[in-house]
Amino acid sequence: MIGPLTVLGIVTLVAVAGVWLVDRRATQLVVGASVAFPQTAGLIVDGNGFPLFYLAVVEVLLLGAPAALMALARPRRDAESRRRFPSDLVGVALVVWAAVITIAGPRLFAGMRVFDPALGVDSQVGNMSVLEASLGNIAQLGYLTLGVALLLTAGRSFPVDTRLLGSTLWVALVLGAVRLVAEPWWPHALLQNMPGYSYATPERLSGTFYEPSVLGLYLVAAACYFGTRLRRGPGRVRVAAVIALGLVGVEFVANASGTALLGLVLVAAVAAAVLLVGLLRRPRIGVQPWAVILGTGVFALGLTQLPALYDLTIGQAERKASSFSYLARGLANERSWQIFVETSGLGAGLGSHRPSSLFFLVLSCLGAIGTALLIALVVLAVVAAVRTPAASASGWALAGVIVSGVIAVPDLSMPVIWAALAACIAARPAAALPPGPARPEAELLQGAPAQVPALQATEAGE
């Protein structure tokens, strides 16, 4: 039975329809904003919540259906279609394989011991559940299908650029800061309305999410995104990036998440390696004065805060490693590898098992084939971002999301994964842009008239 739309569900549907009709370029802003509410229900279906992001994606697919059908009837063979064909093919293959193993897996391997996603990991240590087909299998398959559908339509039915992720991260950061200072007035009934979810208590900041580790993932993505914008953006973009990074720092301390801590360390190490390689490849190595001043200031501040930094980093990691929760999640990951082996590398199907790592989730649920397809999709997205300087911030944000997910956020239906993939894959390389004063294809698809350059007077001798 389909229940009523929630207040935010109605707001999302109205906002998507409004921007689609008035200015389709703003569609990505509304879709991006919905990504900041992954555990907020927009629709209640038979006692189960349907997240705002997927509600927005469904509406975008319905609105873009006529154009999509015309495109299928008259397929294009331009450079843009050829560029996106590999990611399109891998995405469709991932959905097909996921459908096969998610329908067959729970029946082929019925009775296998798993960590039921509907129950807590801690409560199942020593008392694991028995695998059987459930509505959760179909729900997770549906979320994956909608995520891939967004990849296929982004940049085609509506324009996409770096603002898709920018709107996501700004909404998450601003609302996280609001909750930090206004917890007693936080609208719990409005935002924390997903049936079956056990939302965290306010001792640690969780923002619009149901637990601190999910906010930690978004904080890592925001640090990557705005850090790149700070380095490469124009003046006003850099000012905005400084403000955003300030919010990241404040919320990182209030969040106290091991996911954010380890994620930031790993991504920072990768970024440092990439920066070093780039410097070594230059004919002349030079250091900007602002970098020296900033680095000296950070180093000096760090020296004065060594005890606090130790407690926030190494001390926090030690406390986490000695906790029962850490032990339980380690056992869930270990069981994931055993499931992979017991299913001969096929996997048990989406929604069948929940470990504590995105990698082990995919490995145990989608097997070797699904894992290889997802890795290929991520690699194609990163390559697309590397080839498009304007999408570099989205590429680094995607790296932060994947690293944090592998650490401790085992949820393939997390909207920010698909938004980050779409922001990278839908970006167009500079070489693909039309020359001269002609406007990008994204604007022409909306029916905007192309500008014709004025005729130039010729010289008499020509």
Q: How many domains does the chain have?
A: 1
Kindly state the average pLDDT of the residues 177-203: 88
The least confident of 25-29, 79-83, 238-242, 452-456 is: 452-456
So what's the pLDDT on residue 445?
37
Tokens of 335: 């069981």
**Which residue would you say has higher pLDDT here, 2 or 253?**
253
pLDDT band at 437 (very low <50, low <70, confident <90, very high): very low
Range of the structural domain that residue 423 is part of? 79-286+323-429
| pLDDT tens-digit map of 395-434 | 999 999 999 999 888 999 999 999 999 999 997 654 443 4
Work out the mean pLDDT of the chain and round it to a whole number.
83
The answer to whether residue 199 sits within a structural domain is yes
Kindly state the average pLDDT of the residues 262-276: 82
| pLDDT tens-digit map of 3-52 | 688 999 999 999 999 999 999 999 999 999 999 999 999 998 877 889 99
Tokens of 251: 């919320």
277 exposure class (CB count in 10 Å sphere: 0-12, 13-18, 19+): exposed
pLDDT at 349 over 50: yes
The answer to whether residue 436 sits within a structural domain is no
So what's the pLDDT on residue 274?
77
The answer to whether residue 273 sits within a structural domain is yes
Contact 169, 225 (CB under 8 A): yes
pLDDT at 290 over 70: no
Percent of the chain with pLDDT over 70: 80
So what's the pLDDT on residue 432?
43
The answer to whether residue 71 sits within a structural domain is no
The answer to whether residue 334 sits within a structural domain is yes
Tokens of 113: 């011991």
Separation CA 392–CA 420 (nearest Å): 11
The answer to whether residue 439 sits within a structural domain is no
| pLDDT tens-digit map of 225-234 | 999 998 776 7
The answer to whether residue 192 sits within a structural domain is yes
